[in-house]
Amino acid sequence: MKILAIDTSSKFLSLALSENDKILKEKNRQLKKFEHNRLLLREIKSLLEKCNLTINDIDIISVGRGPGSFTGLRIGLAAAKGLVFKSGRRLMGICSFDAVALNIKDPERLIVVIEDARKQMVYGCVYLNNDIGKLERISDYQLLPLEDFCKYILKLSKKYKKDVIFTKDGINSYKEELKKAFKTAVFADEKKWLPKAANIARLTFENCKLNKKMKVKNSEIEPLYLHSQYANITKPKKI
């Protein structure tokens, strides 16, 4: 199974080609503002050529759904849907936060992906690496006031008896507040904040293994927007 993975949710353009669980080639390029639209299809073509492949050799095109840049998400998903329409390939969507969390291999801590939604609001999600070393999401994708999100994480931390590691851009905006709320928390290196397309490819393959007959209409795959006027907001799970 060959997978082309795309993520345009951040300031990076991230692409990867994989065969089953093996990454054949990946590219992570930091872009200037509004460059995704100009470079995305060109970079996809270049990546395919380096692996001596065409779009018709791909089985699944998988795209990061965000949360993230409104413009970037629209560009990435539109390009993915266009390639699927042209080639007849299958389309899948993966939350970009899941790809970020997969960068963290710490089994002793809860992994908290946090993004600044402005006005003391954050978009976030909580994960852990389970007993067999697999990433497991233990919360919904949430848009909440920072104070409420911190209270929710504290409850999860007590429930699972684990300290916390924070990752992604929200650290830049709220690091001091997070330090006060979580005395033993650690903060992932900035290199770990990237929603890598290679991780999207890995998650796509895992999803396909779990449900080989899974069929999703292309029209049903939409972005998870960051801001409240666009966001698909889900309430926190009860603990």
CA distance 53 to 206: 23
pTM (2 d.p.) = 0.89
Residue 229 in any domain: the answer is no
Average pLDDT over residues 215-223: 64
Residue 233 in any domain: the answer is no
177 and 60 in a common domain: no
Residues contacting residue 129 through CB under 8 Å, at least 6 positions apart: 104, 105, 106, 107, 111, 135, 136
CATH number at residue 59: 3.30.420.40
Q: Long-range contacts for 108-111 (Cβ within 8 Å, ≥24 apart)?
A: 108/162, 108/163, 109/162, 109/163, 109/164, 109/165, 109/186, 110/138, 110/153, 110/156, 110/157, 110/160, 110/162, 110/163, 110/164, 110/165, 111/135, 111/165, 111/167
200 and 184 in a common domain: no
37 and 20 in a common domain: yes
Domain total of the chain: 2
Is the C-alpha dihedral spanning 186, 190, 191, 192 positive or negative?
positive
128 and 87 in a common domain: no
Question: Does position 123 have pLDDT exceeding 60, yes or no?
Answer: yes
Question: Does position 213 have pLDDT exceeding 50, yes or no?
Answer: no
Alpha helices, DSSP H only, in the chain?
A: 36-50, 70-87, 96-101, 146-160, 170-181, 197-210
Final residue in a domain of this structure, among 192, 207, 230: 192
- Domain extent for 116: 104-192
* Cβ contact 182:162 at 8 Å: no
Per-residue pLDDT tens over the stretch 59-95 = 999 999 998 888 888 899 999 999 998 788 899 999 9
200 and 87 in a common domain: yes
Tell me which DSSP letter residue 4 carries. E
112 and 91 in a common domain: no
17 and 68 in a common domain: yes
Per-residue pLDDT tens over the stretch 92-119 = 999 999 999 999 999 999 999 999 988 8
173 and 63 in a common domain: no
Residue 225 in any domain: the answer is no
Question: Does position 219 have pLDDT exceeding 70, yes or no?
Answer: no
- The reported pLDDT for the residue numbered 79 is 92
122 and 91 in a common domain: no
CA distance 101 to 131: 16
77 and 9 in a common domain: yes
152 and 76 in a common domain: no
Length of the chain: 239
Residue 32 in any domain: the answer is yes
Question: Does position 140 have pLDDT exceeding 50, yes or no?
Answer: yes
- The reported pLDDT for the residue numbered 69 is 81
